[in-house]
Amino acid sequence: MADKQYPLPQLHGVLVLDKPSGPTSTRCLTAIKRLGQKKIGHAGTLDPLAAGVLVVLLGEATKIAPYVMEGEKTYLGALRLGVTTDTYDSEGTVTSQAPWDHVSASALAEAIASWTELTSQEVPPYSAAKHQGRPLYELARKGLAAPVKVKDISVFDARAESVDLPSATFRVRVSAGVYIRSLVHSLGMRLGCGAIMTALTREESRPFALTQAHSLDAVLADPQSLPERIIPLDKALPHWPTTTLGPAAADDVRRGIRVPVTGDFAPGTHALLVDETRLPLALARAEAMGGRLRWAIVRGLFGDPQPARRGGNDAPATNNTP
């Protein structure tokens, strides 16, 4: 196999993958892991049915997962009325069927648009959310009861792209962690006929878009090109400001010492700290201390900061996220 012939060193950065429909996200990551990428993670999984943007984090980039995962997501999806399944999508076992001919095209379009009014949703029983440490899908497959979990959500935009009853396509922009198949399932319940999701493509996981993505087949067919496909860590958070530290300040940050903020930054601002070679040092937050702003480290990179040996305002920052 190509990955055995061309082992690669551990890379550090973001691979925007165009996940195909069918394999699990874990299977996709396992394939890339075999290219020598032992330290690997992702910033938000996709169901097997779903395709599109899967943000793969390599090496030190795995440490920034919480800050990448929090971005808004945009999806293009498809649904069909008149049926429900245990998974809320077309890959599940049918649990009911009902007439849908009382629903007009305009009513379906309005129901999709009304997703923007939702502030919470039920977590699907077949999901990776956990109850007492066990994934819900594991409990569901064994027929074990689990409490219904409800989570807060935000739907910023939702609209029907086309309606051809009993089917429709839609585009939706949501906060992180929203289950699109749950939106479809609840729509079917409100319309009194049931509905399932039949296709889904994640077009954007901000700040990364499908136009930047590389297909899994292309990556595996040419492993030696993987380094060229990686977004380096110092550019992995384009929505964050970057500030360059001199040698002395960089050394302090490596030891966990809060260094003075230079430049025009407001209290609470998050930034990526890099040294003069552009090597990322830490994710930091500007905090007022002793009458001036200092960078409080929220996540060390390329070796977490070591405990400082000074006291006072130079005491080491914690690595807790904000």
Residues 124 and 194 in one domain: yes
Residues 115 and 213 in one domain: no
Residues 121 and 184 in one domain: yes
Q: What is the CATH number of the domain that holds 211?
A: 3.30.2350.10
Confidence of residue 263 (pLDDT cuts 50, 70, 90): confident
Residues 47 and 150 in one domain: no
Contact 195, 108 (CB under 8 A): no
Residues 47 and 87 in one domain: no
- Quick one: average pLDDT of 259-267? 91
The per-residue pLDDT for 310 is: 33
Angle, CA of 70, 73 and 78, to the nearest 5°:
150
% of the chain beyond a pLDDT of 70? 84
Residues 224 and 280 in one domain: no
- Quick one: average pLDDT of 265-279? 93
Res. 304: pLDDT tops 90: no
Tokens of 120: 């919470």
Residues 151 and 247 in one domain: no
From 192, 217, 233, the end of a domain falls on 233
Q: Is 297 left (phi over 0), alpha (psi -120 to 50) or beta?
A: beta
Is residue 43 situated within a structural domain? yes
Q: Is 47 tagged catalytic?
A: yes
Site of tokens 């699907």: 124
- Say if strands 195-205 and 51-58 run parallel, antiparallel, or are unpaired: parallel
Residues 199 and 78 in one domain: yes
Q: Higher confidence at residue 130 or residue 149?
A: 149
Q: Tell me, what DSSP letter sits at residue 316?
A: B
Residues 77 and 66 in one domain: no
pLDDT tens per residue, range 137-190: 554 455 555 666 788 999 999 999 999 999 999 999 999 889 999 999 999 999
Is residue 6 situated within a structural domain? no
Confidence of residue 12 (pLDDT cuts 50, 70, 90): very high
Residue 25 belongs to domain spanning: 13-71+207-233
Is residue 155 situated within a structural domain? yes
- Quick one: average pLDDT of 29-34? 94
Task: Please tell me the total count of domains within the chain.
Answer: 3
Choosing from 3, 18, 47, 234, the catalytic residue is 47
Is residue 30 situated within a structural domain? yes
Task: Please name every residue paired with 163 in a beta bridge, in sequence order, or none if there are none.
Answer: 168
The per-residue pLDDT for 131 is: 41
Is residue 317 situated within a structural domain? no
- Say if strands 292-300 and 259-260 run parallel, antiparallel, or are unpaired: antiparallel
Spatial separation of the C-alpha atoms in residues 220 and 236, rounded to whole Å: 22
- Quick one: average pLDDT of 99-118? 97
The per-residue pLDDT for 144 is: 55
The per-residue pLDDT for 239 is: 86
Is residue 3 situated within a structural domain? no
Is residue 91 situated within a structural domain? yes
Average pLDDT over the chain reads: 86
Residues 159 and 249 in one domain: no
Residues 77 and 158 in one domain: yes
* SS3 assignment, position 138: helix
Residues 177 and 215 in one domain: no
Is residue 127 situated within a structural domain? yes
Q: What is the CATH number of the domain that holds 250?
A: 2.30.130.10
The per-residue pLDDT for 3 is: 41
The per-residue pLDDT for 122 is: 80
The per-residue pLDDT for 139 is: 44
Res. 228: pLDDT tops 80: yes
From 190, 217, 233, the end of a domain falls on 233
